[in-house]
C-alpha cells in the first residue's frame, strides 16, 4: 500500500497543554516521531510524561482543559489535527483504534460483548449479518470461544476482557492500533500470553502499533523502535535493540537502571534520584537537569535540541553538543 517508504503516521511538533487554575501545563511539548507500516513503535515514560496525552491527541479525544496547541499528525498524508467532525468520525476506528489500559472501564458493563463488537461495525456501515459473522471471527482470532460472545464483561476473566477489547479494536481492520498500557493491570503470566497474541496478530494482519507503557523491559521485547519521553519531551529515539544496548540520554540510562533482572549477576541499581517535575513550573533549560548526574552549567539554561547520532538514533542532551 505504501511502497515509497512513506510513514503511515508522521507526527510533527505536536503540542498539548492543559489549562489549569495553577497555570498552563505543557503536557506534550513539540513532539515529533513517525510510525512506518508494520512497525511497533514504543513510547516509554513515567506517569505524567505525556505519553497517554499523545495517544488521546492522535484520536482527537482530548477533553478540556486539554488543548492541542500546535503541530500536525499526518496519517497516510492527511492531517488528523485539521479534520472536521464528520471526517474524524469516519477516521477513528477505521484507520486508528485504541486499546485502553483498563478493560473493565473500556467495556460497557450492561451490554453483552457481542453487541459491543457489532456496535462499532454497524456504526461504520457494515451490514448486520456480516457484522455478526465478523464478531465470531474476531473472537476466534483473539483466542476466545465464540460462545463467550453472549457473556457480560464481569463474566470474563481479566485476560479475556482485555482480549475482547483487542477484538473490538480490530473490528474494522485498521492499519494502526494505539495500545495504552494494555497489560499493566494484568498479571505477568496473562500479560505474556496477550503480548504473544498481539505479536501473532500483527504478523498475520500487518497493522502498526503505537505501544505505550512505563515498562521499558517489556517494550524492548515487543517493539521495533522506541521513543523515551520525559516531562512532555521525547528525549531519545532509537531502534529497540540499539536503545537497549547503547542508551545515550542520562534519563534513558537511569530508566535502564531501574529494572532489576531475573538473570545474570545481582547488581546494585540506583534508579534516578528526585521525582518527576511539576509541569506547571518545569525546570529551566533541560527539564531533567535537577535529577541528572551529568548536568553541566548549560543544562539549567538552554533546552537541548535533538541531535542525530546516526541515521535512526537521536538524543536531546547537551552532552552530545559538538
Site for another protein in 128-147 (CB under 8 A): none
Among positions 276, 282, 283, 290, the unique one binding another protein when judged by CB under 8 A: 276
Stretch of 86-94, 106-114, 124-132, 259-267 lying at the interface with another protein (CB under 8 A) = 259-267
Residue number, 5 or 263, with CB nearest to another protein: 263
Q: What is the dihedral of CA 153, 157, 159, 163, to 10 degrees?
A: -30
CA dihedral 73, 78, 81, 87 (to 10 degrees): -140
Cβ 253 to another protein shortest distance, Å: 11
Q: How many CB atoms lie within 10 A of CB 27?
A: 25
Q: Can you tell me which of 188, 203, 311, 322 binds another protein, judged by CB under 8 A?
A: 188
Binding of another protein at residue 22 (CB under 8 A)?
no
Work out how close the CB of 268 gets to another protein at its nearest, in angstroms, rounded to a whole number.
8
296 binds another protein (CB under 8 A): no
190 sits near another protein (criterion: CB under 8 A): yes
Nearest Cα to 94, choosing from 114, 135, 124, 118? 124
Residue 270 lies near another protein (rule: CB under 8 A): yes
Q: Which of these ranges, 22-30, 56-64, 97-105, 212-220, lies near another protein under the rule CB under 8 A?
A: 212-220
What track of x and - describes contact with another protein for positions 145 through 164 (by CB under 8 A)? ------------xxx-----
Task: Note whether 209 binds another protein by CB under 8 A.
Answer: no
Phi-psi region of 50 (alpha: psi -120 to 50; beta: other; left: phi over 0): left
Give the contacts of 3 (CB within 8 A, at least 6 positions apart).
none
Helix (H, G, I), strand (E, B) or coil at 113: helix
The residue behind cell 549477576 is 265
Binding region for another protein (CB under 8 A) out of 14-22, 25-33, 80-88, 268-276: 268-276
CB of 160 to another protein, least distance (A): 8
Q: Mind giving me the DSSP string for 137-181?
A: HHHHHTT--GGGGG--GGGS-HHHHHHHHHHHHTTT--SEEEEES
C-alpha triplet 175, 178, 180: angle, nearest 5°: 165
Rounded-to-5 percentages of helix, strand, coil across the chain: 35, 25, 40
Q: Cis omega before residue 17 (within 30°)?
A: no
* Pairwise CA distance, residues 124 & 130, whole Å: 12
Is 254 one of the binding residues for another protein (CB under 8 A)? yes
Say how far residue 183 (Cα) sits from the centre of its chain.
12
State how far the alpha carbon of 278 is from the alpha carbons of 10, 103, 122, 228, 300, in Å: 29, 29, 44, 18, 16
Stretch that binds another protein, among 14-22, 55-63, 264-272, 302-310 (CB under 8 A): 264-272
By the rule CB under 8 A, 242 interacts with another protein = no
Residues 298-317, one symbol each (x = binds another protein by CB under 8 A, - = not), give --------------------
State the binding string over 65-84 for another protein (x if CB under 8 A, else -).
--------------------
Q: Please give the C-alpha separations between residue 191 and each of 100, 138, 185, 218, 304, in angstroms, as whole numbers.
A: 14, 20, 9, 10, 37
Our finding on whether 21 is near another protein (CB under 8 A) is: no
Figure out which of the listed residues 9, 220, 229, 279 binds another protein, where binding follows CB under 8 A: 220
Among the listed ranges 88-96, 119-127, 189-197, 306-314, the one in contact with another protein (CB under 8 A) is 189-197
Residues lying near another protein in the complex (CB under 8 A) are found at: 46-47, 157-159, 187-193, 196, 214-218, 220-221, 244, 254-255, 257-264, 266, 268-276, 291
Amino acid at each position: 500500500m505504501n511502497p515509497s517508504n512513506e510513514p503511515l503516521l508522521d507526527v510533527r511538533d505536536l503540542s498539548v497543554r492543559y489549562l489549569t487554575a495553577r497555570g498552563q501545563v505543557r503536557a506534550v511539548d513539540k513532539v515529533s516521531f513517525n510510525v512506518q507500516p508494520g512497525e511497533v513503535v514504543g513510547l516509554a515514560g513515567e506517569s505524567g510524561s505525556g505519553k497517554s496525552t499523545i495517544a488521546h491527541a492522535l484520536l482527537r479525544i482530548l477533553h478540556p482543559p486539554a488543548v492541542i496547541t500546535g503541530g500536525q499528525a499526518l496519517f497516510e498524508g492527511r492531517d488528523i489535527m485539521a479534520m472536521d467532525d464528520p471526517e474524524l468520525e469516519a477516521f477513528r476506528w477505521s484507520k486508528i483504534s485504541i486499546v485502553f489500559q483498563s478493560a473493565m472501564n473500556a467495556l460497557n458493563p450492561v451490554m453483552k460483548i457481542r453487541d459491543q463488537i457489532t456496535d462499532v461495525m454497524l456504526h461504520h456501515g457494515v451490514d448486520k449479518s456480516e457484522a455478526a459473522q465478523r464478531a465470531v471471527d474476531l473472537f476466534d482470532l483473539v483466542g476466545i470461544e465464540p460462545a463467550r460472545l453472549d457473556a457480560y464483561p464481569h463474566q470474563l476473566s481479566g485476560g479475556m476482557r482485555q482480549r475482547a477489547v483487542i477484538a473490538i479494536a480490530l473490528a474494522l481492520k485498521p492499519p494502526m492500533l494505539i495500545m495504552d498500557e494494555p497489560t499493566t493491570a494484568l498479571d505477568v503470566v496473562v500479560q505474556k500470553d496477550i503480548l504473544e497474541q498481539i505479536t501473532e496478530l500483527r504478523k498475520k494482519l500487518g497493522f502498526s502499533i503505537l505501544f505505550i507503557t512505563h515498562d521499558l523491559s517489556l517494550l524492548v521485547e515487543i517493539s521495533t523502535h522506541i521513543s523515551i519521553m520525559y516531562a512532555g519531551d521525547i528525549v531519545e529515539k532509537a531502534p529497540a535493540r540499539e536503545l537497549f544496548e547503547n542508551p545515550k540520554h542520562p534519563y534513558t540510562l537511569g530508566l535502564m537502571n531501574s529494572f532489576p533482572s531475573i538473570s545474570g549477576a545481582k547488581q546494585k541499581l540506583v534508579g534516578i534520584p528526585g521525582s518527576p517535575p511539576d509541569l506547571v513550573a518545569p525546570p529551566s533549560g533541560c527539564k531533567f537537569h535537577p535529577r541528572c548526574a551529568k548536568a553541566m552549567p548549560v543544562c539549567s539554561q538552554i533546552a537541548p535540541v535533538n541531535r542525530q547520532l546516526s541515521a535512526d538514533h537521536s538524543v536531546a542532551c547537551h552532552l552530545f553538543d559538538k
